[in-house]
Amino acid sequence: MTALTASNLVKAISLLSHKSEYEYASSRTKGKIILVSASLPEGPITFKRYNPSKGETAKTAKIETISTSMIWRIANAVSAGQPVNVDRILGGSYNTRSVLEALLAHTPQFSMCFPGRVQQAGTELTIEKGHKHIWWQPDNPHSVGTINWVKTEKVISEVPTSDVVYEAITINNPDKEIPSGIERRHAQIQIALIQIGHALKFQTSVAVEDVHILYEGKRLSQLDGVVTDLNEMKQVSNHPEAVKKIKHVDVVWFKNGRLMPAAIEIEQSTGIKSGLDRLVGLKHKLADIRVRYVIAADYSERQKITALANEERFKELNVKFFSYNAIEELYSLCRRRNLRGVTDESLDSFMEPVLLS
């Protein structure tokens, strides 16, 4: 096997006992984990976690979920012979990341280790004790249901290589009663989505309300890959009512004159419901076109987005959650690498479904 997929990870976890209690990979994290289900082929995975020292029990613990997109992000980052730090892969975006790490560590092909860490002070380099890493070792399996700690001479450089830097953004719109910090963050994410779209060979439409924004001396409508006339888009040229709706959606991606990979609303707490309303309105005008309906927001908003997306009137959207962390991770990747052949499956690995079954 040369590369892992979400299917590989879910299948391995599905073979763990559903009756056993599993420990975390970190001794500092107290508590137990019980596997409830691992839905083949690609998840989600459900589990219970509880801390007996606090009087908690498996019976009273709630069932929680590890999403397919989270599993794919781990699968995409893992390769044989290379230890990886789960926290760094997920950027602190998921509060279930330590559970996924623990479940994988209990499968035969994954071990845990503490590789050295490069520490730089000025021109001086030293090797310090590193953080825990999970290590896929398909040629060195261990007993199922146990955690195998291995010694290694490998050294990891943790110098950040994917910082996202935005050039100067000018916002001049006194009619909007939005705090400048929020509007600036909204603009940053909008710009990242435009440039992601351009890198993936998409064309991008931007909400008419945001034409006042300047980036590197250009209006957003002047950036590469941005649609200037929606009526020229074959996907919606015969849907004039849809065109009217798209004009007010933060970002919509078009591809190959046939597809619409996503309609994305960038939202803070107070705007999530109105963003969902705009997406529902658009969906009703695009009944015959398959589109991802996406809410982009800080990860702290995920719970609120999940609750709203599961209201009866919004369920038809099958909303995807695109965290700011995931957007900037993909944005950085697009800027550093000439990505080609990006599939829907690849794009989905950066987004989380929030519709509850």
Q: SS3 string of 183-220?
A: HHHHHHHHHHHHHHHHHCCCEEEECHHHCCCEECCEEH
Q: Let me know whether 142 and 19 are in one domain.
A: yes
Question: What pLDDT score was predicted for residue 217?
Answer: 85
CA distance 81 to 267: 40
Q: Let me know whether 247 and 200 are in one domain.
A: yes
| Residue 163 counted as domain residue | no
Q: Let me know whether 142 and 180 are in one domain.
A: no
Token code pair at residue 283: 């969906």
CA distance 301 to 305: 6
| Residue 64 counted as domain residue | yes
The partner residues of 292 in beta bridges, in order of sequence, read none
pTM for the model: 0.61
Q: Let me know whether 148 and 103 are in one domain.
A: yes
| Residue 263 counted as domain residue | yes
DSSP 259: E
Give Cα separations from 259 to 62, 189, 255, 295 (angstroms): 39, 22, 5, 19
Q: Let me know whether 189 and 152 are in one domain.
A: no
Q: Let me know whether 110 and 204 are in one domain.
A: no
Q: Let me know whether 151 and 202 are in one domain.
A: no
| Residue 164 counted as domain residue | no
Give Cα separations from 331 to 114, 190, 193, 227, 337 (angstroms): 30, 11, 7, 19, 10
| Residue 347 counted as domain residue | yes
Q: Let me know whether 240 and 218 are in one domain.
A: yes
Residue at a domain's end among 129, 156, 183? 156
| Residue 43 counted as domain residue | yes
Residue at a domain's end among 108, 135, 156? 156
Domain encompassing residue 235: 169-353
Domain total of the chain? 2
Question: What pLDDT score was predicted for residue 87?
Answer: 83
| Residue 286 counted as domain residue | yes
Q: Let me know whether 175 and 34 are in one domain.
A: no
The partner residues of 34 in beta bridges, in order of sequence, read 48
Q: Let me know whether 132 and 255 are in one domain.
A: no
Low-confidence ranges of the chain (pLDDT < 70): 1-2, 91-94, 118-127, 157-165, 167-168, 171-182, 269-270, 336-345, 357
| Residue 277 counted as domain residue | yes
The partner residues of 117 in beta bridges, in order of sequence, read 128, 156
Q: Let me know whether 218 and 84 are in one domain.
A: no
Per-residue pLDDT of 130-183, as tens digits, reads: 789 999 999 999 999 999 999 988 877 654 445 566 766 776 654 444 445 667
Q: Let me know whether 198 and 322 are in one domain.
A: yes
Question: What pLDDT score was predicted for residue 347?
Answer: 82
CA distance 1 to 79: 10
Per-residue pLDDT of 291-331, as tens digits, reads: 999 999 987 888 899 999 999 999 999 999 998 888 888 88
* Other residues' Cβ atoms within 10 Å of the Cβ of residue 217: 9
